[in-house]
Amino acid sequence: MTAPLARAHPVPTARDHTALFYRDHDEYLDCVAAFVREGVLGGESVTVAVPAPNLGPLRDRCADDGVGDRVRWLDIADVGGNPGRLVPAVLHPVLHLGARVVTEVVWPGRAPMAYPSCVRYEALTNSLLDGRAVRVLCPYDARRLHPRELADALATHPGVLEHGARRPSPGYAPQVALETYNQPFPDTTEAAVELEVDSGRLANARGLAGERARAVGLDEEQAGDVALVVTELLTNSVEHGGGAAVLRLWADAGGLVCEVRDRGRLVDQLAGLRPAPHDQPNGRGLLLVNTLADLVAVHTGAGGTTIRAHFARRTGA
């Protein structure tokens, strides 16, 4: 069967970012498969990133509909364990297209530590979609998720699809959601290695980061990623955060946490999420951080900005 001819897609007049509240597996499959099928048959690029237990059945349903081979299928636990990674990995490749994207960012059993970053991603997606012909559908298990998580979904999505009907979200307030989860990080009791860094100590900090990564059991590739992430964060702090920063490194149950704290305030909420023009020589540091780290959390306030990058120890081959 030949692919339908691509056609021009009108730019939406409003952000097309919808939370799907589903209550059973059949409703999930019916709603998501219909969204996917309509996009494929309309000549749109379609990407689906959902948890593995939903990925297989959904892929089978779309195969039965004759559209499964025209969809980019992703396990969101792999590509979106760090919600910030969804932007460079999933959204950036299609922002210039007529496209549909399914991202199940919050699911029952997802690690609570990642939840504030999930809300931040969902809230900021609205700004990324401004003026774009991209439709995003985000499934939420209305039966098993906590009421607070469903309320946050309403706050971060301008539309909600429920019981087969789409309506404006009654609680849409993405900026309120961002402020609610922009909380200072809890103090850590772990023994942290701490280093004050200015432009003259970036190389020392990079070496220390790689050394600590190996000490907690990260492999050589990860140690290189840790060193690069720490360098990018500290360089950004030195250039934009007052000329100096504090680096803290400590082991947790899963691997290594890298924290960079400076006196600057992160005013641009889309920093690290907005695609940089090809002819722009810089501005990709935070994008790289989101791409390499397993989780990135941000807090900014009157006293400065703190960014934590988590790296999980790999198990198995």
pLDDT at res. 130: 87
Residue 3 has pLDDT above 70, yes or no: no
8 A C-beta contact, residue 170 and residue 176: no
Q: Summarize pLDDT for 42-90 with one digit per residue, the tens.
A: 999 999 999 999 999 999 999 999 999 999 999 999 999 999 889 888 9
Q: Rounded mean pLDDT of the chain? A: 89
0.95 exceeded by pTM: no
- Crossing angle of helices 220-240 and 202-215, in 10° steps, is 150
d(CA 46, CA 38): 10
Task: Write the DSSP string, 195-242.
Answer: EEE-GGGHHHHHHHHHHHHHHTT--HHHHHHHHHHHHHHHHHHHHHSS
Residues of the chain with pLDDT > 90, as a percent, come to 72
